Amino acid sequence: MAKVGRGVRAGSVGTGSVGTGGGETSGGPGVAAGGDARAAKKKLRKVERQERILGELRASPAIRISQLAEEYRVSTETIRRDLDDLSRRGMLNRTYGGASARAFAFEPALSERHKEHVEERQRVGALAARAIRPGQVLMIDVGSTTVHFARRLSAELKDLTVITNSFGVATVLSANPTIAVILCPGRYDGREGSVFGSDAVAFLDRYNANVAVISASGLTADGPNDVNPNAAAIKRAMLGRSATGLLLLDHSKYDLLTLENVCPLDEIDVLVSDQAPPAPLGRALKRAEVAVELAGEGGRGDADRLARLLQGEVPRPDAAKPAGTRRRA
């Protein structure tokens, strides 16, 4: 029987030997006597535990707090906080005593989304607008954050050309007579206040722009995604006709997976958000050479650097070429 030395409890994770006697544990390297997979789960960090919870939801339509607490050897309050956190991030639906899988193809209507994370989205829109320069041509898609961006453009900029499928963006910009607004044709979607469809995509293909300004339902290491395939098609078309791709979203979209991937991460040049992304997503963004700019209170941030990024004057992280030099197919 393996000896348990001072300072090491039975069942704890070690380095292959336990105590001063050097005896190997019966559970194999790294696990003390009596250790098993259930004991190992007790050592999971919060991020790891939440990843496993999401994995269980992919295998089962519903999970219970009591079962998770027993499985991971933590308190029910810890699991409840995990589920509340994941629910706030839109990654599951909270139910009485547990959680259920989130529908990948559902998102509240635009009018409802306008009420969420208002301050954060205003900050993102304000910083991004300060980086736009007179004379530029922009393509702007539909979204609550892009409307905040358009409001700041209308109030602070002049001599722009904007191509959009969003009635909200077009209406806000129409208050500024120096901004030319080109509205896409297509099938009107009342929930989104915008037009979609093949006519809109074909229309966008006639134009070229300096910057495509898009939002997304979620952002993962695979890239931005959207609950609406028609919206995803518009975003891809805008990115394909623009020298630089600018993604605007708040922190609630991080690690949120919805129905359709818009594009790989490396087709986005710059991300503007209100908070730094979680470490794993941050590493993925760096590998994809996406520059990340953060908007502080009141939209404070390095607008000059952001403007240079959008014009291709500053290399992106680890990039051989600066942003704005790659035309997408």
Model confidence at 100, pLDDT cuts 50, 70, 90, reads confident
Q: How far apart are CA 95 and CA 79, in angstroms?
A: 13
Domain ranges in the chain? 41-101, 110-310
User: Residue 321: pLDDT above 60?
Assistant: no
Rounded to an integer, the average pLDDT of 291-300 is 87
User: Which pLDDT belongs to residue 107?
Assistant: 58
Report whether 10 contacts 19 (CB < 8 A).
Answer: no
Report whether 94 contacts 84 (CB < 8 A).
Answer: yes
Evaluate whether the domain defined by 110-310 bears CATH number 1.20.1260.10. Answer: no
Report whether 289 contacts 317 (CB < 8 A).
Answer: yes
Helices 118-130, 144-156: crossing angle, 10 deg rounding = 50
Q: How far apart are CA 95 and CA 175, in angstroms?
A: 45
User: Which pLDDT belongs to residue 51?
Assistant: 83
pTM over 0.85: no
Model confidence at 1, pLDDT cuts 50, 70, 90, reads very low
CA separation, residue 230 to residues 155, 240, 329 (Å): 30, 16, 19
pLDDT tens track for 258-291: 889 999 999 999 999 999 999 999 999 999 999 9
Q: Which residue has the higher pLDDT, 29 or 56?
A: 56
The pair of structure tokens assigned to 30 is: 């790294």
Dihedral angle computed from the Cα positions of residues 80, 85, 86 and 87, in that order, rounded to the nearest 10 degrees: 90
Q: How far apart are CA 309 and CA 306, in angstroms?
A: 5
User: Residue 112: pLDDT above 80?
Assistant: no
- Termini Cα distance of the chain: 66
Name which CATH class applies to 41-101: mainly alpha
Written as one letter, the residue type at 297 is: E
Q: How far apart are CA 68 and CA 55, in angstroms?
A: 12
Lowest-pLDDT choice from 77-81, 90-94, 128-132, 308-312: 90-94
Q: What's the DSSP call for residue 7?
A: T
| H helix and E strand count, the chain | 12, 15
Rounded to an integer, the average pLDDT of 172-197 is 96
Residue percentage of the chain with pLDDT more than 90: 57
Helices (H), the chain: 37-41, 46-59, 65-72, 76-88, 110-113, 118-130, 144-156, 167-173, 198-204, 229-240, 279-287, 303-310
User: Residue 53: pLDDT above 70?
Assistant: yes
Report whether 25 contacts 32 (CB < 8 A).
Answer: yes
User: Residue 325: pLDDT above 70?
Assistant: no
Q: Is 101 exposed, middle or buried (0-12, 13-18, 19+ CB in 10 A)?
A: middle
Rounded to an integer, the average pLDDT of 106-131 is 79
Rounded to an integer, the average pLDDT of 110-126 is 79
User: Residue 243: pLDDT above 60?
Assistant: yes
